A and B are shown apart, each in its own frame.
Chain A
Amino acid sequence: MAACWSCSGTVDRDGLFCESCGALQPPRLADHFARLGVPAAFDIAVPALERRYFELQRRIHPDRFAARLPNEREYSQQHAANLNDALQTLKSPVRRAEYLLALKGRPMRGSGQETVDDEEILVHAMEMREALAEAATPAAADAVVADARGQAERVTKELVTAFAANDLAGAARLTLRLKYLDKFVEDARERRRP
């Protein structure tokens, strides 16, 4: 592990502070999983992830360094921004799956640019939109949305299996499906908004 910028002492296990002088260290290259101290896997318990995030923010947030040296303030700002990005990315199953695929060298294309070459996903998405449009009562619309939510949960479970088996092609396809389902639920909510 690299030495402390301030006293050349040893840096702690999390790579955050110097064990000798306590100085905050600059962020070292690490991925979001490493930043939050969890293994790089799809199967993650979000509450535990958030607890870990709070714990780390308590230690490195800029509010803790308001009265410290300018470079420590700068590092804390970078650490906190990284942590925020890490939590936002890993909290959402879709974004976590996309991120993990990229880490494993099989990135999906940039957001919104995927060409849907998967006929089945496309047809399914269109059917759901029609069902929503045809729903005569709010209760019927809610049922369509609830169904989409149920499907999203199932797809998420399948993703766990796919990633565990290191089936990246399968995982990519499931991720795309999950993305469509999420988008559908989101749009439905947006539409109900007055």
Chain B
Amino acid sequence: MSLLQIHEPGQTPLPHAKKSIAVGIDLGTTNSLVAVSENNKPLVLRDAQGRGLVPSAVLYQAGSMHVGEVARAALQDHPERVVVSIKRLMGRGAEDVMRVADQLQYELDTSSGGMVRVKVGGRVLTPVEISGHILEELRGRAERTLNREVRQAVITVPAHFDDGARTATKDAAKLAGLQVLRLVNEPTAAALAYGLDKGAQGTYAVYDLGGGTFDVSVLRLEMGVFQVLATGGHVQLGGDDFDRAVAEHFLIDRTRMFGAEKLTSPDIRRAMAVARQAREHLTEHETGSWPLDLAGRLTWHSLDQATLNALIAPKVEQTIAIARGVLADAKLDAAELNGIVLVGGATRTPLVRRRVAEFFGRPPLTDIDPDEVVALGAALQAEALTRGSDALLLDVTPLSLGLETMGGLVEKVVPRNTPIPVSLAQEFTTYQDGQTAMAIHVLQGERELVSENRSLARFELHGIPPMTAGAARIRVLFSVDADGLLTVSAEEITTGTRQQVAVKPSYGLSDSEMAEMLRASIEHAKDDMTERLLREARVDAERLLLAIDGALRADGDLLADGERREIDRQMQELRRVMAGTDRTPILDGVDALNTATETFAARRMDRGIQQALAGVSVSALADRLVAGEGTRPPGAAK
């Protein structure tokens, strides 16, 4: 008999006990969020402290890894073990990344060619894996709070993300065990949340300045249709760049004091973190001063709002210039807009607010939390895709797509701001007599010269029948799906040979590398399962201990001294093994304690019956017998 037993071991409900649900994820440069929507009511999922934002920071330690607040806090003491702002490297090849200002912040491994890798905490990881770890944490948070299995998600990306960065995001989701229902552009998601919540109609601009990226989109909201008219932005423009300007300012101070210093990537990461604290402080205050402990030397640096504004003004003006271009693309004047919606934490910066208000000629709308609005929109779209909705998002291509032609020039096939999905074809011809193959080089970007655009794919069409120059007709078809992802195919059409090649651009990660990472993530998923079972065993054990504590307090007099000592000893032993990471001794300890308390349980039962016969109600008795029930961990709201 074991009346103290509340759960059969292994019967604690696992998260997948209930029907699975699709979530919306804002995978940000600085902060990420996960939200869920039911009946058109989106909700950000929060931790026990009520925080919705999960810092997009990962701490890598010997046998473990932590995502979020813990990792961000570790940035000061162990910058060499922490990765931040990994989104800025998504979908970037090794060569491509060397041109990015960010390289100083990371210790990069470009030796293997192809995809760039980051060295951190003794590991070498791709940005896809690191983003995968963040997504896994978000999925875990969702599963724990909802007590439901989560396998599908809408993930938001900057509207200006190129094909490589989009594909990389999808791959990261795959590693985290998530099927991407749709990639939605961040400003579009924000407009969806905003429009549905506020019932807005008309033409709106969304100005989204986050940690790493800037987007501005102009949308028409009409009867539940969210139509993007034009979008523009920059994938390397955000709060991080403000931080860099401030950090450089501090470092120049130090150079004045000590001459040129040799700083490591972790030093730079730490300086950037301090710069950010300074900057955020100056949003509310006129001035302040901050310590910088680098290379064994501590220095103090003061900064006021005016200096900060001067440091960041060039970046802010860049966003205004982009906004001007987008309005022109939408063929609209600022005065024709019905409102400006601000999204992203960096829009709290006073200079940004002021310049946006000046440029658009009206104060921006900020009545939905600029940190959360993107995740809310993603959740709404996840619900729409799985359960239907009256709203419809119609988005566009952010960047032109084209082909290399003679002389290293780009011929555009799909201009930017073309509504998606789209399939457009262009015909090309051979330029040599008897030419039987044609090299096709797919590019993305607005520039004239091939070298100034992002190269997405190269392939060859073979088997063109030999003809005189200019006689063959090669039809190249560009198809962009609703996620903004491109497929290119080519065929020769005069002769009906129908040689066809279709490619999906890759971003430097080969199929075999991806397969290897997937295999590793499945192993890892097994570790997760082990972790979950361990936690479950601990919870069961904790419950049992609490129940026995309660019973001992109430009816301890039923035990002889020796019996009591034995139970105490067993409880102590169980507490000891609970601190370990092995589940088996915990289960054994629970069994042993159950056995050790059998007699006690029986005596309590007897006393209970006697008391019941003496007039104690059975329900009160039952309440007493399940003492400890209140220790059940908080379950899901539903």
Contact = CB atoms under 8 A, between A and B. Distances in A.
Contacts of B181: 66
Contacts of B482: 61-63, 77, 80
A78 interface: yes
Contact of A57 (B182, B325, B394, B481): B394
Contact of B423 (A61, A62, A78, A193): A78
A26 B424 CA distance: 18
Contact of B422 (A61, A84, A193): A84
A136 interface: no
Interface in B71-113: none
A54 B385 contact: no
Given A54-B223, A67-B386, A81-B421, A61 B481 contact: no
B422 A81 contact: yes
Contacts of A94: none
A84 B481 CA distance: 12
Contacts of B479: 81
A58 interface: yes
A16 interface: no
Contacts of B418: 84, 88
Nearest to A193: B328
A77 B386 contact: no
Interface string B357-393: 0000000000000000000000001001110100011
A54 B227 CA distance: 10
Interface residues of B, number: 27
A85 B424 contact: yes
Interface residues of A, number: 21
B392 A62 contact: no
A67 B384 CA distance: 10
Given A61-B392, A62-B482, A194 B421 contact: no
A187 B223 CA distance: 34
A77 B392 contact: no
Interface string A41-83: 0000000000000100110011110110000000001101110
Contacts of B182: 63, 66
B424 A62 contact: no
B351 interface: no
Nearest to B393: A63
Given A57-B392, A84-B420, A63 B384 contact: yes
B419 interface: yes
5 contacts: A58-B392, A84-B418, A189-B328, A193-B328, A194-B324
The 9 closest A-B pairs by CB, nearest first: A66-B385, A62-B482, A84-B419, A81-B423, A81-B421, A80-B421, A54-B225, A77-B421, A81-B422
Given A62-B421, A66-B385, A80-B482, 4 more contacts: A62-B481, A63-B385, A67-B386, A193-B325
